[in-house]
Chain A
Amino acid sequence: MRRVTVIETVERENNNTITVRFRDDLCVMPGQFYMVWFPPINEIPLSVSYNGKLKGVTVKGIGKSTKKIVEGAVGDVISLDGPYGNYFKPYGNKILAIAGGVGIASIILAIESFHSMGLDITTIIGAKKYDELIFMERANISSDTFIVTTDDGSYGEKGFTVNIAEKLIAEKKFDSIITCGPEIMMKKIVDISLKSNIKVYASIERIMKCAIGICDSCVFGAYHICMDGPIFTGEQLKDIPDFGKWKHGFSGEKIKL
């Protein structure tokens, strides 16, 4: 049911990313998303990045609408629909979390929730450069092992999350892996996990319009992100030819990732 709520705060994570906080009483599970309407700009699917009484969603300025939102064209209220989608459930005791860029916003609640259950969490956060790293404090506090990578070496280890992950997977015995970030990154993580016989869960993004399983915009193999996702298992992903390769544009056309 669509409902309007007042924006309590707008926090700037970096020059291209903001977190909008608001009250919503519905129960949200880690990895679920809202359809958030920023009138009059647009309505977009956003993972919930803060739970509890004062919830939050984190927006990175990528397209025309998200840029407008990040540049400050946010009004006093937003309209929410949802929460939608499936959510991260812990599998095993030793969990590896891998986030690329703003992808951390989709898995930070899972990291915090798993940590509070007493599970052993290793987190790898990667970004192109230091400015693009967000939620580092939060992820650090809730992780037993915490590693940061940047492509240019401006912070943490120079290189990619995938390389660190591959090394760690070979050394430690993880029960499961959760990931969100650029799909090319997730594809590599999923391939490594499947080869190593470790359960893997990835949060997938596509253009979403209706969010209720009607419009076919977020079609993903035989699935739809809105109804069957956003989290998919390695077993599902290995049978989806589009994964890591193709997405659909606003008119349904195929676009190479």
Chain B
Amino acid sequence: MIYDRNNLPEELLNLPASDFEALYQEDIKDEKFQTKPVGFFKDAAIRLTKSKVSIIAFIIIGIIIILAVVVPPLSPYGFNDQNISAKYLPPKMPIVEKLGIMDGTRVLKNRKVSGLSDTDRYPEGSIIEYFNVVTAKGQEMCDVRVDAYMLAGMPDGEYHWFGTDYLGRDLLTRLFKGARISLLIAFFSVLTNVFIGVVYGAISGYYGGKVDIILTHFAEVLDGMPYIVVTILFMILFGSGMVSIILALTITGWIGTSRLIRAQFYRFKGREYVLAARTLGVPDRTLIFRHILPNCVGPLITRAMIAIPGAIFSESFLAYLGLGIKPPNPSIGVLLSDGQSVLLQYPYQTVFPAILISVLMIAFNLFSNGLRDALDPTKRGEE
């Protein structure tokens, strides 16, 4: 007999529970999850730590940052302590000096042999050896290896690990003070770029339509301006200094980020979950920042990391053009360009900043490559 579902007779609606019997007695033996769920960032972290290169790069970056923080206050010399009698001292480092490098000696070329015994010019013990003796115009000439520290009358136990510059300033202190300033410029300019890029890209991508067309065209025109030209013009306009460097690096720097964010917003704003949230009356602000923006975090981090070495490069580039940080503050670029002008006479002044910036750039590039692979959702779970 067929009952109407909406009009069941009274006796069928009030059947006692005891009349029923379970067909299967045993429990359902579904296993409980033994592992914790692996989220996107956890997965990325796992993959990042698996890449040895990224770890090493990260450690190097960490060491340089720590040195940049620790060295200037711990050093016995201030970054701007001038000592004219100690100018152009070659590097001298304890322990390493016994190996014959960085021992504070320098070769003076074409000196009169007869003048070597003059203790006014060459204090006792400052001459280590002389060689290449030639006779020219009746004068015996030679090359002398001297202890530059003794020659300059430095007290014993005075060590400038990386030497001194034309004002007798300690280059070790200056280098890490400079690294600190360069890194600060890089971090702040990237931070500003990301902030502007996110806001601009989010507005452009979320609202679409006319707003998007106008904003995109504006960015496109701005993007056509060669980065070097804009930066130089702004530096001239604002004068040198840390804030103006950061500003100058921001003028066109944010466009890449905004483009990325805009594309992500176009991808996600039509998704069902966003529509559902909107139907529930979630305001635009929350939709943008809470619901759509988190999808962009991965590429955003990668982009920011890649931009950091670029900013460090730009800073030193500007320093070469004479538009760097205001003296007496050092930056890696300022030290490099100062060193470049005396490269052939005092190569050590270029060597250390050059090594530092190279290592820093390579480490940042390797780390951001690792980060990009780790945050790439298409490679997820490959390991």
Chains A and B belong together in one complex: no
